[in-house]
Structure 1
Amino acid sequence: MKSSNILLLPGWQNSGPGHWQSLWEQRHGYQRVQQHDWMRPLRGDWSARLEEVVVDADGPVVLVAHSLGCILAAWWAAHSRHTAKVHGALLVAPGDVQRPEVAAHIRGWAPIARQRLPFPAVLVGSRNDPYCSRESAEGLARDWGARFVDGGHKGHINAESGLGDWPEGHALLGALMNKD
């Protein structure tokens, strides 16, 4: 699979230069799905942009989502007619937009689409994520039909977690890409 068909779906406020998604983009040539407004995300706009990128891709794609990007992937999958182009998804530290303290900053994203995803998925959750409890992450994995991976105590699994380019996550992506 071409590296440009690995689609990075950052969350709210985008992924900064020290985030593993940004490091993967630089080192491996993966494609970040650019959104119009990273600070005031609109679910419909973000979903339409993902649809456009998936449709325009020449061949199958793999989604690599972080935080709100996970919620986007599930919402998009519930509404798109192009999900057959997705070979799989790595969903990392989903942001629980139904929690009041999260919903206060990210309006219009609840409820979370909870249908079974029509493609293989792995969800990595942290035991101490301030934006999604381990129990909520496990529940999302169950509903989405994703394999749950316990990420340990890594906070929101972002730059502040001190992961660098997060080789463990890249190994999970490699395994997902090699599934038939």
Structure 2
Amino acid sequence: MRNESIRYLIVPGWQGSPQDHWQTHWQDSLPNSTRVEQADWMVPQRRDWVAALDEAVDAADTPVILIAHSLGCVTVAHWAEQATRSALRKVHGALLVAPADVERPNCPPALQNFAPIPRHLLPFPSQVVASDNDPAISAPRALQLARDWGAEAGILAGGGHINVKSGHRRWEQGFAYLYRLQSRLEQHSLRRA
């Protein structure tokens, strides 16, 4: 995937993405990519995480595609709800993988300050990828969030939380979702031209 005019912002979830996580491999593989760093990966605060994403988008001097995982997906939804129009225009799309349901009954207390999850249409094209056995979100709930956000949805069979623990280290198959999203973006811009 060679698109030098796109800035890929990797948005990890709770506890960050370790060296063998697919987000780290993607950051190393995708040109012009960077990670949104958080001051505290273990005790996330919604305001701080949204502010860090806002700073990263603001610093980008090219169009942005967000690549979020778990709590990072919820961070993107909160950011989109309060971002300025100029910041929102920079984001051309978002790949939202295994969004964490921070409203579920067994949600870890550290994540509960991210509830409620914004349910508004995202102002940019997006793709949700979830699985049918993710302990952090049920497939029906992931599909509902995708509908609320106006995102396309894909459900993996037996994918778990789509992380290292579920065997998704490099997750090269995930690039197909990114390619699909980028193709939609290119078709959209051709129609507008």
State the superposition RMSD in angstroms: 1.4
Structure 1 residue 130 corresponds to structure 2 residue 135? yes
Residue 148 (structure 1) shift: 0.6
Letter in 2 for 1:46: W
**Count of matched residue positions in the alignment of Structure 1 and Structure 2:** 180
Residue 4 (structure 1) shift: 7.2
The whole-number CA distance in structure 1 between the counterparts of 2:174 and 2:134 is 16
Query: Structure 2: 5+ residue runs without aligned partners?
Result: 187-193
Residue 117 (structure 1) shift: 0.3
The whole-number CA distance in structure 1 between the counterparts of 2:79 and 2:181 is 20
Match of 2:82 in 1: 79
Residue 40 (structure 1) shift: 0.6
Match of 2:189 in 1: none
Change (3 A) 1:129 1:64: same
Match of 2:4 in 1: 2
Highest CA radius of gyration, 1 or 2? 2
Comparing 156-165 with 58-67, greater Cα deviation is found at 156-165
The whole-number CA distance in structure 1 between the counterparts of 2:25 and 2:163 is 11
The whole-number CA distance in structure 2 between the counterparts of 1:55 and 1:159 is 30
The whole-number CA distance in structure 2 between the counterparts of 1:132 and 1:39 is 20
Comparing 170-179 with 129-138, greater Cα deviation is found at 170-179
**Percent of residue pairs bearing the same amino acid type:** 48
Question: After TM superposition, where is structure 1 displaced by more than 4 Å over at least 4 residues in a row?
Answer: none
The whole-number CA distance in structure 1 between the counterparts of 2:26 and 2:164 is 12
Match of 2:63 in 1: 60
2:180 counterpart (154, 175, 178)? 175
1:44 counterpart (44, 47, 56)? 47
Residue 3 (structure 1) shift: 7.7
Residue 164 (structure 1) shift: 2.9
1:141 counterpart (146, 160, 166)? 146
Change (3 A) 1:109 1:140: same
The whole-number CA distance in structure 2 between the counterparts of 1:151 and 1:122 is 13
The whole-number CA distance in structure 1 between the counterparts of 2:59 and 2:12 is 19
Structure 1 residue 107 corresponds to structure 2 residue 112? yes
Does the 8 Å contact 1:4/1:31 carry over to 2?
Answer: no
**TM-score, structure 1 normalization:** 0.95
Query: Structure 1: 5+ residue runs without aligned partners?
Result: none
**TM-score, structure 2 normalization:** 0.89
Residue 104 (structure 1) shift: 2.0
Any idea what SS the aligned residue of 2:174 has? helix
Match of 1:13 in 2: 15
Letter in 2 for 1:26: D
2:167 counterpart (158, 162, 170)? 162
